[in-house]
């Protein structure tokens, strides 16, 4: 492994008047380009630990390195301008337009107006907001999900190598949260930042993290490892307890739609005549045909009965495909949508909405079996002592 | 009604003079408010984060406002003499409390998450205060300034007792000749001038408040 992007060395935080330190002697390497999650019960010191990286909280002792340089003594404001920061409440400035919010750090770094404007538009586009519409709006005119995206855009303004995110999806309703998480993962695949992400939600940690540090009281590290290893080989009872029951179900959060083999449902272009659609359906073992528009985007599921209905055009018969996922969605997302869908299948599309295939129950069951097999093999290997899964700190 | 008619005559006859006194009145009020804003907002900014100085400054400015105006003007007579100077000093003292208090309240009501995110982005103390906290506290601060102005428009009349400028002059003149036919007219005209000035300034504050508050935080 290369030099870590961030290295914590014996980082400790003591508050006066408290006999136990809030954070006690943490050593931790955070590799470049990964999402590292700090997760643990409330009061375990995970947020304190994160805030010591941008020195919103000054460590009592220990040193912090960023890109190999000790940043424990540099000017904290200059340090923070190189570290994106997103908090749960997002903290957009209500009296500034979206443009000015995003331009906060560029302005401090003395960028000129034209460069800043171009960057603001680029970022809004990156987080999926129409720049022409949103740049001159105020935060109060935005929905929670839109504000969250602006918060991310603002943190990315000067393309900092590191981002700190403190429960960034915590204050958002579960459905929007799922979507934003997926969007964020897709964004991260593009930008490859080093991200430290704090959450109390182990499911979120498993879904979002390349690595997870499970912290217990006093921010001591119970286990620091990949989600896969934590699920299949928890370091101790505390970790096993914290991960909780339903580890197989949680593993669904580890596999993404793009990692499994898609099934192919019969498709037909909008405008194909009924007889031909019927023969396509008959030729397959499925119960419905997916109609695609001129850009191969899914329009309708049609069944044999819909084909027989002649009172409406075929593309208005049948049901709209509501269960639609993108390749970076987790199998858990896909499964959730599938359970509510009419044909037991989630349609997979790419970022432009083009049809790629489908995920159905058979796909999921197959993936779960494969993961269980893999986990068993790893456990066996670990038991034989031939290898140890990841670095297991403390315990 | 005879009084009514003669008051109307008095008003048209003396309009230049009343207008001049009203301008004087407005000037001394606005100058005093201006000075009080500089000190009041400054003191608020210095003390809103620290408990003891905050309590102290609110207590002191609170005491100022309880001193009877006639007494305060008289007390300032010996160190500062007669005229505009002691009048302004007294008026500034009266104007401080609403401004200081609203500055402190406004700054303390800014959402800590907003301040933290500003700090987390590398905004230093001063920049945070001037770019984030003060603009967000501004609607509350300007309300304090507006209240102070209203108070001063009334109290400034008493400044005439130490030869201060403004409409108070006519009130004290009327007092000196109670019983004469012009006394009532004179006092009435001055009071009307003060009330009109109060309304006008209040209106002006509404307008200024609207123009200086970001669209993002307006109701």
Q: Which residues of B touch A139 (CB under 8 A)?
A: 216
Q: What string of H, E and C letters represents the secondary structure of chain B?
A: CHHHHHHHHHHHHCHHHHHHHHHHHHHHHHHHHHHHHHHHHHHHHHHCCCHHHHHHHHHHHHHHHHCCHHHHHHHHHHHHCCCHHHHHHHHHHHHHHHHHHHHHHHHHCCCHHHHHHHHHCCCCHHHHHHHHHHHHHHHHHHHHHHHHHHHHHHHHHHHHHHCCCCCHHHHHHHHHCCCCHHHHHHHHHHHHHHHHHHHHHHHHHHHHHHHHCCCCCCC
Q: What values do phi and psi take at B93, rounded to 5?
A: -60, -40
What are the structure tokens assigned to A11, written together? 């980082």
| A220-225 and A298-302 strand pairing | unpaired
Instruction: Quote the minimal CA–CA distance from B125 to chain A in Å.
Output: 10
Q: Which residues of A touch B111 (CB under 8 A)?
A: 89, 91
Instruction: Quote the minimal CA–CA distance from A224 to chain B in Å.
Output: 26
- Pairwise CB contact (< 8 Å): B217 & A96: no
What are the structure tokens assigned to A388, written together? 């140890």
C-alpha A32/C-alpha A36 separation (Å) is: 10
What are the structure tokens assigned to B141, written together? 């601060």
* Angle (deg, nearest 10), helices B84-108 and B51-66: 140
Residue B203 has pLDDT above 90, yes or no: yes
Give the ipTM: 0.85
Q: What string of H, E and C letters represents the secondary structure of chain A?
A: CCCCCEEEEEEEECCCCCCCCCEEEEEEEECCCCEEEEECCCCCCHHHHHHHHCCCCCCCEEEEEECCEECCCCCHHHHHCCEEEEECCCCCCCCCCHHHHHCHHHHHCCCCHHHHHHHHHHHHHHCCCCHHHHCCCCHHHCCHHHHHHHHHHHHCCCCCCEEEEECCCCCCCHHHHHHHHHHHHHHHHHHCCEEEEEECCHHHHHHHCCEEEEEEHHHEEEEEECHHHHHHCCCCHHHHHHHCCCHHHHHCCCCEHHHCCCECCCEEECCCCHHHHHHHHHHCCCCCEEEECCCCCEEEEECHHHHHCCCCCHHHCCECCCCEECCCCEHHHHHHHHHHCCCCEEEEECCCCCEEEEEEHHHHHHHHHHHHHHHHHHHHHHHCCCCCCCCCCCC
- Residue in B111, B116, B119, B122 to test binding to A, most A beta-carbons within 10 Å: B122
Q: Does B118 touch chain A (CB under 8 A)?
A: yes
Q: Within a 10 A sphere around the Cβ of A270, how many other Cβ atoms?
A: 14
Residue for token pair 């984030």: B132
- Pairwise CB contact (< 8 Å): A85 & B132: no
Q: Residue B149: which pLDDT band, with cuts at 50, 70 and 90? A: very high
Instruction: Quote the minimal CA–CA distance from B201 to chain A in Å.
Output: 26
Q: Which residues contact B35 (CB under 8 A, 6 or more apart)?
A: B88, B92
- Pairwise CB contact (< 8 Å): A90 & B136: no
Residue B3 has pLDDT above 70, yes or no: no
- Pairwise CB contact (< 8 Å): B118 & A91: yes
Residues B116-132 have pLDDT tens digits of 999 999 999 999 999 99
- Pairwise CB contact (< 8 Å): B113 & A77: no
Q: Does B210 touch chain A (CB under 8 A)?
A: no
C-alpha B40/C-alpha B208 separation (Å) is: 19
B141 vs A242, higher pLDDT: B141
Q: Does B111 touch chain A (CB under 8 A)?
A: yes
Q: Does B129 touch chain A (CB under 8 A)?
A: no
Tell me which chain B residue has its CA closest to the CA of residue A104: B121
A294: region left, alpha or beta (phi > 0 left; psi from -120 to 50 alpha): alpha
Q: Does A321 touch chain B (CB under 8 A)?
A: no
Q: What values do phi and psi take at A344, rounded to 5?
A: 70, 30
Are the CB atoms for A210 and A177 separated by under 8 Å? no
CA quadruple A348, A351, A353, A354: dihedral sign = negative
Residues A159-213 have pLDDT tens digits of 999 999 999 998 888 888 888 998 899 899 999 999 999 999 998 999 999 999 9
- Pairwise CB contact (< 8 Å): A95 & B214: yes
- Pairwise CB contact (< 8 Å): A138 & B132: no
Q: Which residues of B touch A92 (CB under 8 A)?
A: 114, 117
Q: Does A92 touch chain B (CB under 8 A)?
A: yes
Q: Which residue from A333, A339, A302, A337 is spatially nearest to A323, judged by alpha carbons?
A: A337
Are the CB atoms for A283 and A266 separated by under 8 Å? yes
Percent of chain B with pLDDT over 90: 74
Tell me which chain A residue has its CA closest to the CA of residue B111: A91
Tell me which chain A residue has its CA closest to the CA of residue B138: A95
Q: Does B209 touch chain A (CB under 8 A)?
A: no
Residue for token pair 């009419």: A342
Q: Nearest by CB to B122, which of A91, A92, A108?
A: A108
Distance spanning both ends of chain A, measured CA to CA: 24
Q: Within a 10 A sphere around the Cβ of B72, how many other Cβ atoms?
A: 20
Q: Which residues of chain A have pLDDT under 70?
A: 1-2, 248, 382-383, 385-395
Q: Within a 10 A sphere around the Cβ of A68, how many other Cβ atoms?
A: 9
Q: Does B135 touch chain A (CB under 8 A)?
A: yes
Instruction: Quote the minimal CA–CA distance from B45 to chain A in Å.
Output: 19
Q: Which residues of B touch A77 (CB under 8 A)?
A: 122-124
Are the CB atoms for A321 and A347 separated by under 8 Å? yes
C-alpha B208/C-alpha A247 separation (Å) is: 61
Instruction: Quote the minimal CA–CA distance from A204 to chain B in Å.
Output: 22
- Pairwise CB contact (< 8 Å): B123 & A92: no
Tell me which chain B residue has its CA closest to the CA of residue A89: B113
Tell me which chain A residue has its CA closest to the CA of residue B212: A95
- Residue in A95, A98, A160, A163 to test binding to B, most B beta-carbons within 10 Å: A95
Q: What values do phi and psi take at A302, rounded to 5?
A: -120, 135
- Pairwise CB contact (< 8 Å): B132 & A93: yes
Tell me which chain B residue has its CA closest to the CA of residue A94: B216
Q: What angle do CA B49, B51, B52 make, to 5 degrees?
A: 130
C-alpha A198/C-alpha A200 separation (Å) is: 7
Q: Walk across the sheet containing A61-66 and list its strands.
A: A23-30, A6-13, A61-66, A69-70
C-alpha A175/C-alpha A187 separation (Å) is: 19
Q: Which residues of A touch B118 (CB under 8 A)?
A: 91, 93, 104
Q: Which residues contact A118 (CB under 8 A, 6 or more apart)?
A: none
């Amino acid at each position: 492994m290369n030099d870590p992007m961030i290295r914590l060395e014996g980082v400790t935080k003591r508050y006066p008047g408290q006999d136990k330190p809030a954070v006690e002697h943490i050593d931790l390497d955070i590799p470049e380009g990964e999402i590292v999650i700090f997760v643990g019960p409330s009061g375990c010191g995970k947020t304190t630990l994160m805030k010591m990286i941008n020195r919103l909280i000054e460590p009592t002792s220990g040193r912090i390195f960023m890109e190999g340089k000790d940043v424990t003594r540099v000017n904290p404001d200059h340090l923070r301008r190189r570290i994106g920061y997103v908090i749960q409440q997002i903290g957009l400035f209500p009296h500034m337009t979206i443009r000015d919010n995003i331009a906060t750090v560029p302005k401090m770094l003395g960028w000129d107006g034209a460069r800043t404007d171009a960057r603001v538009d680029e970022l809004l586009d990156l987080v999926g907001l129409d720049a022409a519409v949103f740049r001159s709006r105020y935060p109060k005119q935005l929905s929670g999900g839109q504000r969250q995206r602006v918060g991310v855009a603002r943190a990315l303004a000067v393309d900092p190598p590191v981002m700190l995110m403190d429960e960034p999806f915590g204050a958002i309703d579960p459905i929007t949260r799922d979507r934003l998480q997926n969007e964020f993962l897709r964004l991260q695949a593009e930008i490859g930042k080093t991200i430290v992400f704090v959450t109390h939600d182990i499911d979120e940690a498993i879904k979002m993290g390349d690595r997870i540090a499970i912290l217990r009281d006093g921010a001591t590290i119970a286990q620091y490892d990949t989600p896969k290893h934590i699920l299949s080989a928890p370091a101790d009872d505390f970790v096993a307890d914290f991960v909780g029951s339903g580890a197989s179900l949680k593993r669904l959060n580890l596999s993404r739609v793009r990692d499994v083999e898609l099934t192919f449902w019969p498709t037909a272009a909008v405008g194909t005549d009924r007889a031909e659609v019927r023969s396509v359906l008959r030729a397959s073992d499925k119960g419905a045909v997916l109609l695609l528009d001129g850009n191969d985007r899914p329009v309708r599921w049609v069944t044999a009965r819909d084909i027989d209905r002649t009172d409406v055009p075929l593309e208005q018969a049948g049901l709209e495909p509501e269960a639609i996922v993108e390749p970076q969605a987790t199998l858990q997302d896909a499964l959730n949508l599938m359970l509510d869908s009419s044909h037991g299948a989630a349609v997979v599309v790419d970022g432009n909405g083009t049809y790629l295939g489908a995920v159905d129950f058979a796909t999921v069951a197959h993936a779960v079996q494969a993961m269980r097999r893999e986990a068993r093999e790893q456990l066996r290997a670990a038991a034989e002592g031939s290898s140890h899964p990841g670095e297991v700190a403390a315990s | 009604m005879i009084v009514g008619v003669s008051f109307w005559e008095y008003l048209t006859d003396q309009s230049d003079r009343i207008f001049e006194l009203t301008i004087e009145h407005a000037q001394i009020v606005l100058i005093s408010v201006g000075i009080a804003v500089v000190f009041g907002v400054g003191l608020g900014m210095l003390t809103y984060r620290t408990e003891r100085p905050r309590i102290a400054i609110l207590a002191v400015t609170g005491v100022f406002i309880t001193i009877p105006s006639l007494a305060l003007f008289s007390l300032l007579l010996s160190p500062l003499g007669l005229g505009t100077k002691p009048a302004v000093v007294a008026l500034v003292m009266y104007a401080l409390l609403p401004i200081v208090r609203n500055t402190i309240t406004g700054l303390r009501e800014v959402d800590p998450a907003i301040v933290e995110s500003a700090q987390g982005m590398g905004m230093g103390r001063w920049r945070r205060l001037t770019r984030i906290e003060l603009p967000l506290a501004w609607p509350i601060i300007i309300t304090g300034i507006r209240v102070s102005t209203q108070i001063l428009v009334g109290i400034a009349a008493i400044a005439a007792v130490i030869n201060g400028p403004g409409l108070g002059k006519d009130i004290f003149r009327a007092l000196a000749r109670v019983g004469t036919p012009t006394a009532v007219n004179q006092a009435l005209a001055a009071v009307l001038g003060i009330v009109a000035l109060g309304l006008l300034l209040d209106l002006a504050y509404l307008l200024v408040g609207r123009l200086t508050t970001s669209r993002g935080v307006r109701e």
